[in-house]
């Protein structure tokens, strides 16, 4: 039963109940067990997975009496997969299940090539991982499944971290195609779930910004997606990243696509040494796609200061009228605050930032309107004058 006045957010469609919102508990449910959630007046709200030791005490899955696990999960998996097949037919990589937005809280499933990568961030689904695996094998029929259960979110649910595959293998690598570019994917060695699917549409948009002969800088280049799109449009590109393995994959991808002569690579820590941003400039276009600066609310303020510094160095290295593309992948950084970091950085250098384009995560990473936590990616394009 929830405390008085603590049910409004949940009644409006938010699917998390926090531990400090619970007034009383009947019985002693264990980690990952089903529980009923009721208002203070005992009227039923819904059913969800319970965790007695986590800040997110209940993850609501249904607002009516739940059917058996198999029926509920099978229906939602089929619905989510069918939606992606309709929107992204033939895509080399697509997110099939995006947690709460698909009614499966804490469950992330990507299809990359003919493999699935599964990331479980809730104890409820970790407890039912065998059932989920069986359903995915039946519905999607993948060549293999990789469990990338090494995310920091698992610590919040007191879950152990591990990476394993079905069938067992030490390496999972193959090629995929995205808008005419080929990528060699390393599911085990790559970041996140093996490939940055969420920037797919933004990479394509970025290509359209580039003119033949442009000089482009791609910071935090990872596998080289933005860099290759720029090179494909005729630019000369400098691509930088801290990760030697990521740079090795980026170089391999550039060679695979016949773009190696157009892209130079630089290894360096752009966070500790932001002066490396724009090295070799000035540039016509600079792209920044840094890792998550703010994994919690407490780190949001220092993260914003970090963005100001990064954007300042980028603006310094841009030609008059140059283009700055920048992204944030933390839901703790609001879009308006992210925009402020660009404006402040521009003002400090007596420049102005003109918004040309703003975007967020693609449709296979849907955002549940009542849960801002399901939205995280901001991608903004500016002309710096």
What is the percent of the chain with per-residue pLDDT over 70, rounded to a whole number? Answer: 99
Q: What is the DSSP letter of 42?
A: -
pLDDT tens digit sequence for 150-202: 988 899 999 999 999 999 988 888 999 999 999 999 888 776 677 899 999 99
pLDDT tens digit sequence for 300-333: 898 999 999 999 999 999 999 999 999 999 989 9
- pTM for the whole structure: 0.94
Backbone angles phi, psi at 119, to 5 degrees: -130, 120
Catalytic-labelled residue, pool 57, 329, 342, 346: 329
What integer pLDDT is reported at residue 221 of this predicted model?
96
Kindly provide the b/e burial profile for residues 277-293, where b requires at least 16 CB atoms within 10 angstroms of the residue's own CB: bbbebebbbbbbbbebb
Per-domain residue ranges for the chain?
Answer: 8-62, 69-174, 196-384
State the pLDDT confidence band at 299, using cuts at 50, 70 and 90: confident
For strands 283-288 and 318-328, give the pairing. parallel
d(CA 97, CA 107): 7
Please give the CATH superfamily to which domain 8-62 belongs.
Answer: PUA domain (2.30.130.10)
Question: How far, in Å, are 152, 282, 358 from residue 331 at the CA level?
Answer: 15, 32, 16
* Helices and strands counted in the chain (H then E): 10, 18
State the pLDDT confidence band at 3, using cuts at 50, 70 and 90: very high
d(CA 93, CA 95): 7
pLDDT tens digit sequence for 229-268: 999 999 999 999 999 999 999 999 999 999 999 999 999 9
Q: Is 329 a catalytic residue?
A: yes
CATH, domain 196-384, list 3.30.70.330, 3.30.450.40, 3.40.50.150, 3.30.230.20: 3.40.50.150
What integer pLDDT is reported at residue 357 of this predicted model?
98
SS (H, E, C) 183-214: EEEECCCCCCCCCCHHHHHHHHHHHHHCCCCC
Query: Which class would CATH give 69-174?
Result: alpha beta
State the pLDDT confidence band at 53, using cuts at 50, 70 and 90: very high
What integer pLDDT is reported at residue 61 of this predicted model?
97
């Amino acid at each position: 039963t929830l405390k008085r006045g603590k049910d409004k957010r949940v009644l409006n469609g938010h699917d998390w109940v926090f531990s400090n919102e619970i007034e009383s508990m009947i019985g002693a449910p264990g980690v990952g067990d089903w529980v009923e959630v009721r208002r203070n007046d005992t009227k039923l709200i819904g059913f969800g997975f319970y965790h007695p030791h986590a800040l997110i005490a209940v993850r609501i899955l249904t607002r009516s009496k739940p059917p058996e696990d198999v029926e509920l999960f099978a229906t939602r998996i089929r619905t989510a997969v069918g939606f992606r097949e309709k929107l992204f037919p033939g895509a080399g990589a697509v997110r099939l299940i995006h947690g709460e937005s698909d009614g499966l809280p804490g469950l992330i499933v990507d299809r990359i090539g003919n493999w699935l990568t599964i990331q479980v961030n809730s104890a409820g689904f970790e407890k039912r991982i065998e059932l989920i695996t069986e359903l995915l094998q039946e519905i999607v029929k993948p060549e293999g499944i990789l469990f990338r259960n090494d995310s920091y979110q698992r610590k919040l649910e007191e879950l152990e971290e591990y990476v394993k595959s079905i069938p067992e293998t030490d390496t999972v690598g193959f090629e995929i195609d995205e808008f005419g570019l080929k990528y060699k994917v390393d599911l085990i060695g790559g970041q996140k779930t093996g490939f940055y699917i969420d920037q797919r549409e933004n990479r394509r948009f970025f290509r359209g910004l580039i003119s033949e002969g442009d000089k482009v800088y791609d910071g935090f280049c990872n596998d080289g997606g933005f860099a290759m799109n720029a090179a494909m449009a005729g630019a000369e590109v400098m691509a930088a990243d801290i990760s030697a393995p990521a740079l090795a994959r980026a170089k391999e991808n550039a060679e695979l696509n016949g773009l190696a002569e157009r892209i130079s690579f630089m290894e360096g820590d752009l966070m500790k040494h932001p002066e490396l941003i724009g090295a070799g400039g000035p540039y016509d276009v600079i792209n920044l796609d840094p890792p998550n600066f703010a994994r919690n609310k407490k780190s949001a303020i220092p993260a914003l200061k970090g963005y100001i510094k990064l954007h300042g160095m980028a603006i310094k290295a841009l030609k008059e009228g140059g283009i700055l593309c920048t992204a944030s992948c933390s839901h703790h950084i609001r879009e308006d605050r992210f925009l402020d970091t660009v404006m402040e950085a521009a003002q400090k250098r007596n420049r102005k930032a003109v918004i040309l384009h703003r975007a967020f995560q693609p449709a296979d990473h849907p955002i549940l309107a009542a849960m801002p936590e399901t939205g995280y990616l901001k991608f903004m394009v500016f002309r710096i004058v």
